[in-house]
Structure 1
């Protein structure tokens, strides 16, 4: 039999739950794990394992397949269906060698499958592999969470000084007639740079708050036309600065949809802002409100360059920068469409891209009609 040297164990002991209806099997596995410095708790059935999981969270489960009542497969599926348990690695330890059982175990969410009778050092090595991976995942999750908190703090703290710079630039621009042309142009550049920085900071904060927003959504009946008109009003002046017309057409005075007020407005504003950003000066952004038997539809198309076939699959990913560039020197963070996609999916809606009827980009939003 092939010899296995157990891998170095993670720092500190790990808590392992062994689930088997045969006490003698637990009596074999338990001492092996204890010898490696792990803590071991045992359960004789799937029901007993669930009861113990409500009071403790193990670092790993060793799980038998064939048990009376709840099978190992059933228990594994229950773990994967519960948020607080779904990250616990599960290794099946079974006398059944049928490949179909191995496939079912992996499909149920297991990370490994060891057959009995097992070789002690091999089992310990496999346990150590998955404990090490679990430890690494947790460290990465902690690092990412700390990075995100730092990013949020920095972005939030930058808003006030950037806002002060923008305000000062605006005040100086109002005195443009009384200062040399070069100074006036420089002040304009300062104002534009502050605007771009504020947009980046705003997008970063929006992304950081996205999960919280999705968790706190309050879906209710609301008028799609009303929120589309509000979003257009917010960006009409921005469009005028680029001589871009915003045309809104609606198939009815009222299109009732089920959505979250803040999330719907945020999604529509992001799409309108994006269309203006990539539209040439003097063009028209057209918004059509429609409905079918199931959905209220918000369709926006522009006369910009659109998105190439080879880049369509990247559209809704976070921080994606496509080949098309904003036409007025605006900043593109690659976050807006990702935010739109996530918010709409959380409202049981959707957003899709297609080539526009005038050659530019066309985004189609669907939201469920309110009953």
Structure 2
């Protein structure tokens, strides 16, 4: 028995539909030998039933079958919005040119006659399966770009309106008292800062994959990174009258991670805690160790997360019902970034409700000396 060939990239899940068992065996063994996965169906109706639970990358379809012809099956497939883009290759002994035309009009992407040449069939299968995977990837990118435009348009509207209003007031009222002018100038500065935070957050997501692929894990001081992040938010805390308490386990926790990514994660969690905390409240940071490793735990006294929204927390562009307490920018990207980067450092990020009111987020990273 010949050894299977190396698994192709990308491997395809192929549905083979034919009323002749021998034909399915021949085609199926060929596909399996070339590293693809195979689902078999002996009729159009059986194939439609299987498609209710499985979505293949490609369908190899016979033309003349009892009960439902390949053309009829193909037309029914196109009526299903979830399946209409699955490429169909007709594989038939019928070599009549009219059959080929009918197949293409029914929605097929290709037509191969029996007896077929194995390498040619495999080449066509991999070509159309690869095109579909590329199409799906591009569709996903387009959806994300459209969502990105929605976020930009929505989130930049308020700070830009604030800048426009304040600038108009200054231009139309040159004799404004000094304190009124100072308030308008301050408003422009605050609005510009919010717009900058929105743009920075969106640009940050573009570099996630690049950052994940260039992770350099080495021993890091969890406490030193926490202190640096806190210092970066000192002015923001002062403006909102928010206090930050840091509770340490006693010794400096040395964890494995990437310094740049760890700072990004801690700053995102700290920024969220400050954004959603009311004036005069306290944000508490715990630095400790347990069975999971070195722990950065941050608690706030904000509104917390609704139970039904918890599963959505780390998704991209997730917008929850809780809103920042002082009009700060919130793109719905921060927690997604934290999740992706912590995972890239072989760590774990989690959420739990805080006793009473508020949120608790935890980052767990492998401890130096205890990491495999």
TM-score category, normalised to shorter length:
0.5 to 0.7
Q: 8 Å contact 1:348–1:367 — kept in the other structure?
A: yes
Closer/same/farther in 2, CA of residues 180 and 294 from structure 1, 3 Å limit = closer
Contact 2:347/2:364 (<8 A) preserved: yes
1:47 maps onto 2:45 in alignment? no
Q: CA deviation at 1:123?
A: 8.5
Query: In the alignment, is the contact (CA less than 8 A) between 2:15 and 2:41 conserved in 1?
Result: no
* Distance in 2 (alpha carbons) for counterparts of 1:180 and 1:343: 47
- Of the structure 1 ranges 106-115 and 179-188, higher mean CA displacement relative to structure 2 is found in 106-115
Matched, 1:190 2:188: yes
Of stretches 120-129 and 241-250 in structure 1, the one that deviates more from structure 2 is 120-129
Alignment of 1:330-349 (within 5 A): 330-349=328-347
- The reply to whether residue 130 of structure 1 matches residue 126 of structure 2 is no
CA contact (8 A) 1:94 1:115 kept: no
For residue 302 of structure 2, the aligned residue among 284, 301, 304 is: 304
Instruction: Choose the corresponding residue for 1:369, options 355, 367, 370.
Output: 367
In structure 2, distance between residues paired with 1:249 and 1:326:
25
Q: 1:91 to 1:361 in 2, by over 3 A?
A: same
Kept in 2, the 8 Å contact 1:258–1:369? The answer is yes
Q: 1:47 to 1:360 in 2, by over 3 A?
A: same
Q: Extract unaligned runs of 5+ from structure 2.
A: 17-22, 79-83, 88-108, 110-127, 171-175
Tell me the distance in 2 between the aligned counterparts of 1:109 and 1:46: 25
User: Are 2:138 and 1:142 aligned?
Assistant: yes
Closer, same or farther: CA 108–269 of 1 in aligned 2, 3 Å? same
**CA-atom RMSD in angstroms:** 4.5
Deviations 1:267-318 (A, max 9, x none): 0100001001111111110000111134111111011111121221221122
Moved over 4 A (4+): 57-67, 70-75, 90-96, 106-129, 132-137, 143-149
Give, in whole Å, the separation in 2 of the partners of 1:58 and 1:295.
Answer: 37
Aligned residue pair count: 289
Deviation at 1:254, TM superposition (A): 1.7
- Residue pairs, 1:245-256, within 5 angstroms: 245-256=243-254
Tell me the TM-score normalised to structure 1 length.
0.63
Shift of 1:129: 5.6
Taking the aligned partners of 1:65 and 1:245, their CA distance within structure 2 comes to 70
Secondary structure at the residue paired with 1:247? strand
Contact 2:299 2:358 in 1 (8 A): yes
Give the superposition deviation at 1:181: 2.7
- State the distance in 2 between where 1:307 and 1:357 align: 12
CA 1:231–1:216: 2 relative to 1, 3 Å: same
Distance of aligned partners of 1:46 and 1:307 in 2 relative to their CA distance in 1, 3 Å threshold: same
TM-score for both structures, normalised by structure 2: 0.63
Inter-CA distance 74–108: structure 2 relative to 1 (3 Å threshold)? farther
- Superposed displacement of residue 260, structure 1: 1.5
Name the SS of the counterpart of 2:352 in structure 1. strand
Equivalence for 2:210: 212
Instruction: Please give the residue correspondences for 1:350-365 in structure 2 after superposition, counting only pairs within 5 Å.
Output: 350-365=348-363
2:117: which partner in 1?
none
Q: CA 1:120–1:229 in structure 2 vs 1: closer, same or farther (change >3 Å)? A: same
Q: What is the CA–CA distance in structure 2 between the aligned matches of 1:369 and 1:321, rounded to whole Å?
A: 33
Corresponding residue number in structure 2 for 1:261:
259
Q: Which SS does the other structure have where 1:47 is aligned?
A: coil
